């Protein structure tokens, strides 16, 4: 019998894979992809709770999270293109202009 | 082991494996493609949880539209330079240790039953289909946030155009 715990553990593992991608990679594109993965794991968590509590609110919030994920990807990629035009690089180490 | 368990373990294991590949591949093109596979398997899990509408949305928006957008941007950049460079960051070792501690804590709290509560016994009555289940809530209790989401998308549209526009004299 698959219970809520199974989904919570799966969601935690996906979340941590995403966090590791954000913290350990130097490529900004992969970092943005990892953020998408984190949002997906949160969606899985919300839908699992929505299913086991029998309340549609969780699924409505997943709808909003999808909207924000689309917005974040569009703006993040626009910033990334501008950054590449200015720096000729997509590594996070090269983005250090704000360092004191 | 019944059919739901088999499907759950298939989707779960494939989602974790493809997510791991997506994060570790040096070439971003493979990362994007593995993440598409991961999103498809997560959509399968959504179907198992009775959220068919959001599974369709996950495939259309996340796996379809967003990943194609990422692929376009990946193709814009010079990949030969990115491949030769060091893949992992300097802080990778420390970050990995902290992440593993975090996942261990999350799994321990999940297994110990902090969230178990009364949730297990409830069975969802299938009186309506999933779309009316979500839409009923979306268009009554959450009407204002729903309209605000369209405003957010409009602002993002303008923002992306302004950011992508060339400067005068460039």
Q: Which residue has the tokens 């009554």?
A: B140
Asked if residues A62 and A43 have their Cβ atoms less than 8 Å apart, the reply is: yes
User: Looking at the predicted structure, is the pLDDT value of residue A34 above 90?
Assistant: yes
pLDDT confidence tier of residue B121, bands split at 50, 70 and 90: very low
Over chain B, what is the mean pLDDT?
A: 84
Cα separation values, B83 from B46, B61, B67, Å = 35, 29, 20
- Residue B121: Cβ-neighbour burial (10 angstroms; 0-12, 13-18, 19+): exposed
Contact A69 B62 (CB under 8 A): yes
Residue A80, domain CATH = 1.10.287.3510
Task: List the single best residue of A1, A6, A12 to mutate versus B (max B Cβ within 10 A).
Answer: A12
Nearest C-alpha neighbor of A51 from the set B5, B54, B138: B54
What's the pTM value of the predicted model, to 2 decimals?
0.89
Determine, yes or no, domain membership for A96.
no
Helix (H) or strand (E) holding B94: helix B92-112
Contact B106 A15 (CB under 8 A): yes
Determine, yes or no, domain membership for A74.
yes
Distance CA A72, CA A65 (A): 10
Enclosing domain of residue A57: 4-91
Determine, yes or no, domain membership for A76.
yes
* Residues linked to residue A25 through DSSP beta bridges, in sequence order: B88
* CATH number of this structure's domain B1-93, picked from the four choices 3.40.718.10, 3.30.930.10, 3.40.50.300, 1.20.120.1200: 1.20.120.1200
Closest-CA residue in chain A for B39? A40
Cα separation values, B107 from A44, A95, B30, B41, B129, Å = 15, 35, 29, 21, 33
Q: Over the Cα atoms of chain B, what is R_g?
A: 21
Give chain A's domain count: 1
> Residue A32: its pLDDT value, please?
92
* Residues linked to residue A27 through DSSP beta bridges, in sequence order: A91
The predicted-structure confidence for A73-96, as pLDDT tens digits, reads as follows: 999 999 888 888 888 777 888 888
Partner B, chain A 16-75, Cβ-Cβ below 8 Å: 16-21, 23-27, 29-30, 32-34, 36-37, 40, 43-44, 47-54, 56-57, 59-60, 62-64, 66-71, 73-75
Determine, yes or no, domain membership for A99.
no
Closest-CA residue in chain B for A41? B42
The predicted-structure confidence for A8-28, as pLDDT tens digits, reads as follows: 999 999 999 999 999 988 888
Of B90, B120, B145, the CB nearest to A64: B145
pLDDT confidence tier of residue B128, bands split at 50, 70 and 90: low
Across A34-38, B70-74, B89-93, which has the greatest mean pLDDT? A34-38
- Between A5-9, A43-47, B33-37, B83-87, the lowest mean confidence (pLDDT) is in B83-87
> Residue A100: its pLDDT value, please?
67
Determine, yes or no, domain membership for A98.
no
Contact A19 B125 (CB under 8 A): no
Determine, yes or no, domain membership for A69.
yes
Nearest C-alpha neighbor of B70 from the set A16, A25, A70, A26: A70
Determine, yes or no, domain membership for A68.
yes
């Amino acid at each position: 019998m698959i219970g809520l715990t199974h989904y919570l553990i799966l969601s935690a593992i996906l979340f941590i894979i995403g966090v590791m991608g954000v913290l350990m990679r130097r490529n900004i594109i992969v970092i943005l992809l990892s953020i998408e993965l984190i949002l997906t794991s949160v969606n899985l968590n919300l839908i699992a709770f929505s299913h086991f509590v029998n309340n549609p609110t969780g699924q409505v919030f997943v709808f909003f999270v999808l909207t924000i994920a689309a917005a974040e990807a569009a703006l993040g990629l626009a910033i990334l293109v501008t950054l590449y035009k200015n720096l000729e690089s997509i590594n996070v180490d090269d983005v250090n202009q704000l360092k004191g | 082991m019944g059919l739901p368990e088999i499907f759950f373990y298939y989707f779960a294991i494939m989602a974790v494996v493809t997510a791991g590949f997506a994060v570790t591949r040096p070439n971003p093109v493979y990362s994007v493609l593995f993440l598409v596979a991961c999103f498809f398997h997560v959509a399968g899990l959504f179907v198992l949880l009775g959220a068919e509408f959001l599974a369709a949305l996950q495939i259309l928006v996340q796996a379809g539209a967003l990943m194609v957008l990422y692929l376009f941007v990946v193709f814009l950049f010079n990949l030969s330079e990115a491949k030769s460079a060091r893949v992992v960051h300097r802080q990778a070792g420390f970050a990995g240790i902290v992440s593993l501690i975090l996942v261990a804590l999350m799994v321990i709290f999940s297994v110990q039953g902090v969230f178990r509560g009364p949730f297990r016994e409830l069975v969802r009555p299938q009186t309506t289909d999933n779309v009316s289940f979500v839409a009923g809530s979306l268009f009554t209790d959450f009407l204002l946030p729903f309209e605000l989401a369209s405003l957010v998308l409009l602002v993002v549209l303008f923002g992306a155009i302004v950011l992508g526009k060339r400067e005068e004299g460039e």
